[in-house]
Amino acid sequence: MINTILGQKFEMTQDFTQKGIRIPLTKIIAGPCIILEAKTREKDGYNALKIGFGQKKFKNITNPQKGQLKEAKLKMAPFYIQELKIDDPQKYKVGDQIIVTDILAPGDEIQMTGISKGKGFTGVVKRWGFAGGPRTHGQSDRERAPGSIGQTTTPGRVIKGKKMAGRAGGKKITLKKLHIMAVNKEKNQILVKGSIPGAKKGFLIITKTGKVKNFDPLQEPKKPKLQI
């Protein structure tokens, strides 16, 4: 059974639970996703589904990609394609759609994978949280410096992976134990408690992992007043 759907980060907002507690929320467009290919290999037991999300024109993709999408008979090419391992790909047909309510519901626990915001080339203070050096005894240029990186005779070199200045962010990150607070089937949207990785319009892989214990839903919408 498939338990994963692709989505796109939309915006952040807030709401109140039925107990009156204010919580931050992230609004995500989840699906619909289309099945592009079902893979079953008997040699190594590899089973997977290739699904696509979003739309872009066929003229913006390569000829090999056009060949892969030919079987699905699409009018527009998916913008984001991902292959998911599942046990029973034969249950699904190429061209079928996966919508958000097929997988997710309020009270579900999920994990979400995305690319974090890139921050460019940064120093050790911003990248790793170094304290820097003291600005005393004439050391006016050591406030944000990393300090010595050398080693003694053994090993006599800088260890690989040393925390130094470099490019920060822009990496694949997976956050676990996130909570789904609401699902909107008409708009293909979900509300997730807290913040998630990535910038606006960033693509996400959303996987259901279980149910939330003692789930407190959002407040019910207020009923409109009767007009006299």
Report CA dihedral (161, 166, 170, 172) to the nearest 10 degrees. 0
Residue 22's Cα: distance from chain center in Å? 24
Helix, strand, coil % over all residues of the chain, rounded to 5: 10, 40, 50
What is residue 165's predicted lDDT score, i.e. its pLDDT?
92
**CATH 2.40.30 domain position(s) in the chain:** 4-120+175-211
What token pair was written down for 128? 């790793």
What is residue 76's predicted lDDT score, i.e. its pLDDT?
74
Question: Which residue type occupies 41?
Answer: R
Q: Report the candidate in 97, 47, 109 with the shortest Cα–Cα distance to residue 72.
A: 97
Residue 115: Cβ within 10 Å count: 16
Q: Report the candidate in 135, 140, 167, 161 with the shortest Cα–Cα distance to residue 149.
A: 161
What is residue 227's predicted lDDT score, i.e. its pLDDT?
56
Q: Is residue 2 a contact partner of residue 92, using CB atoms and an 8 Å limit?
A: yes
What is residue 224's predicted lDDT score, i.e. its pLDDT?
58
The whole-angstrom separation of Cα 188 and Cα 167 is 35
- Which pLDDT tens digits describe the chain residue by residue (228 residues)? 788 889 899 888 888 888 888 889 999 998 788 888 777 777 777 888 888 888 777 777 777 777 777 766 777 777 788 888 888 777 888 878 888 888 888 888 999 999 999 899 999 999 999 988 887 888 878 888 888 888 888 888 888 889 999 999 889 999 999 999 888 888 888 999 888 888 888 899 999 988 888 888 888 766 555 555
4-120+175-211 is a CATH 2.40.50 domain: no
What is residue 226's predicted lDDT score, i.e. its pLDDT?
56
The whole-angstrom separation of Cα 7 and Cα 156 is 48
Q: Is residue 114 a contact partner of residue 197, using CB atoms and an 8 Å limit?
A: yes
Report CA dihedral (42, 3, 174, 65) to the nearest 10 degrees. 60
What is residue 225's predicted lDDT score, i.e. its pLDDT?
58
Taking the alpha carbons of 158, 162, 163, 168 in that order, is the dihedral positive or negative? positive
The values of phi and psi at residue 128, to 5°, are -120, -5
The whole-angstrom separation of Cα 15 and Cα 52 is 31
